[in-house]
Amino acid sequence: MVHKGDDMERVGVPRNKTVRGKNVWLAQAIVAASAGLPMTEMRSRTRKLEAQKARQLATYLARVVFGIGLRELATETGRSPGTVHHACRQVERWRDDPQYDSSVERLEFQLRKAAGVSP
């Protein structure tokens, strides 16, 4: 699912992460790059709207692309399962906008390609 060894370390994924943790990190990194946010802001608890939306999208993508459960996503992101569920529902609502949906599809494609996961 995730690139092995040196590939992941080269882009800054901590060595001690589980495979699921690396997948979540990869989703966050791709969304952060797309939104122009530093990873520190993606992983923080800041309530800045831009960071919140990016975190919600990364959570949604990790769930959709990797099939990670709500509880495991909550553990990996340091949020509650309810917060993770809310994030996924929000993104699903926002996808009613064709322009937003198109950008989500593009990011999902990038994440699948980076992780070596087929559609």
Q: Give the mean pLDDT of 14-27.
A: 78
Q: By residue range, what is the domain housing residue 107?
A: 5-114
Q: Number of folded domains in the chain?
A: 1
Whole-angstrom CA distances from 92 to 56, 59, 84, 96, 116 are: 10, 12, 13, 7, 24
Taking each helix axis from N to C end, the angle separating 19-35 and 70-77, rounded to the nearest 10 degrees, works out to: 70
Does some domain include residue 70?
yes
Residue 15: pLDDT band with limits 50, 70, 90? low
pLDDT tens, residue by residue, 28-77: 999 999 999 998 888 888 889 999 999 999 999 999 999 999 999 999 88
* 47 domain-assigned: yes
Residue 119 maps to a domain: no
Identify the residue with better confidence: 85 or 117.
85
Lowest-pLDDT choice from 1-5, 6-10, 108-112: 1-5
**CATH code assigned at 39:** 1.10.1750.10
Both structure tokens of 99: 């322009």
Q: Is residue 98 part of a domain?
A: yes
**Average pLDDT, whole number, for the chain?**
87
